[in-house]
Amino acid sequence: MSSVAVSAGTPGTPGRSSVAAPITQPLTRAPPAPAPPSGNVRSFGAPPSTGDFGAAPPASSPACHGSAAPVRSQSPPGEVPFCETVPEDLACGICFQAAADPVVTEECGHLFCRECITMALDRKKECPIDRSPLTVNELRKDVRTYRKVMALNVFCLNKRGGCQWKGAYSDLEKHCERCDFAPMRCPFAAHGCEYAATRKNLTEHLNATVAQHLLYVCATTTRLVEENTALQQEVDLMQRDDQRFVWVIPNFEAKKGPVYSRKFSARGLMWYLGVDFEGPDQHAGVYLFAEGHQRRVDFKLILHNVAPQRDKVHIVNDWASDYKGKGWGPLKFIDRATIAQAGFVVNGCVRVATEIDSDPFE
């Protein structure tokens, strides 16, 4: 692989070959690249997501409480307000509620909830009613009882909140999906809003509190920025020992044009990395730039793989003297066509590192 120079603001021209990598790359001119922004911040790439502001609550909320979670799994018969007393022939012989997922014993014909009898048999292999020997293999699903239980009339779980609906137990799930009285958390609860709404008045709440919700989001954003600043300083301290700088590029496969890292300090001088996504043959070049000086160094580029033993390493020790103050590096360091399949993309991110191997020289 060959190294070429690029300049922030002027086109680069080919440089001499560096220590050869297994693949020989042609020397072609890299496109001009604007200077990176100043400041010790990440300026390119999409910022990390903090969630979909204003999105609906997660679908894992209990049924009839702002989601479409299945009623049978979230609200077993023992928690459902039946309109009338459950007939004895539909009741579990252990919990005495309407049998959920009803099963009947083959020999003695006793009815139980599947969960109730399974737990009982884990403790003792006998029927809890007549003490006759019993195993789970001697249970069978009672479809007739299930249908009768599903036909029982029930009130809405939100009856105390004002809902007047009642209907067949089998229809409770569909009702819960649209019940106006279902309690719902404000979508901005993660940002600090403590308002407890129902589906009926949630829209009114959102329309009336736009300004307050924006303040909540601003506070969250400020906190994230502060945490990012602190985290970046921790990373800087960890990178001091081996003169290695690691640059994580998010949403790599969607990137276009040149992008730049934040500035970093190594060997007493400031530097930054740049990636040109417009390289030939679906490749991207990676370059090291000097910031505010005309010194050069020998350096190493590392493209981190999911498997550390497969990291791609390129050594650069041929920074041409007539390219002082300009970018220098391999033109075809990253193969964009195969990078994901080869294990170099992790959660949409590509990790590029550089190690400054020598003291700066003229």
Residue length of the chain: 362
- 79 pLDDT tier (thresholds 50, 70, 90): confident
pLDDT beyond 80 at 97: yes
pLDDT value of residue 64: 42
- 6 pLDDT tier (thresholds 50, 70, 90): low
Q: Where are the domains of the chain?
A: 3-45+240-356, 71-179
pLDDT beyond 50 at 63: no
pLDDT value of residue 47: 29
pLDDT beyond 90 at 131: yes
Mean pLDDT of 301-313: 92
CB-based contact 140:68 (threshold 8 Å):
no
pLDDT value of residue 13: 33
Tell me the pLDDT tens digit for each residue of 154-180: 999 998 889 999 999 999 989 988 899
* Burial class of 14 by CB neighbour count within 10 A (0 to 12, 13 to 18, 19+): middle
* Lookup: tokens for 257: 């044009």
How much of the chain is in helix, strand and coil states, percent to nearest 5? Answer: 30, 25, 50
pLDDT beyond 90 at 274: yes
pLDDT value of residue 257: 81
Lowest mean pLDDT among 62-76, 99-113, 347-361: 62-76
Total-model pTM:
0.44
Give the long-range contacts of residues 345-351, CB within 8 A, separation 24 or more: 345/252, 345/253, 346/306, 348/250, 348/251, 348/252, 348/253, 349/248, 349/249, 349/250, 349/251, 349/252, 350/248, 350/249, 350/252, 350/303, 351/246, 351/247, 351/248, 351/249, 351/303, 351/304
- 49 pLDDT tier (thresholds 50, 70, 90): very low
Segments of 161-239 assigned E as strands: 166-168, 183-185, 196-198
Superfamily of domain 71-179: Zinc/RING finger domain, C3HC4 (zinc finger) (3.30.40.10)
pLDDT beyond 70 at 71: no
pLDDT value of residue 310: 92
How many CA atoms are closer than 13 Å to the CA of 71, on its beta-carbon side?
23
C-alpha 94/C-alpha 88 separation (Å) is 12
Query: Percentage of the chain surpassing pLDDT 70?
Result: 75
C-alpha 240/C-alpha 148 separation (Å) is 72
C-alpha 177/C-alpha 68 separation (Å) is 5
Amino acid at 65: H
pLDDT value of residue 51: 31
* Burial class of 246 by CB neighbour count within 10 A (0 to 12, 13 to 18, 19+): middle
Q: Which CATH number fits domain 3-45+240-356: 2.60.210.10, 3.30.429.10, 3.40.50.10490, 2.60.40.10?
A: 2.60.210.10
Lowest mean pLDDT among 47-56, 66-75, 171-180: 47-56
pLDDT beyond 50 at 315: yes
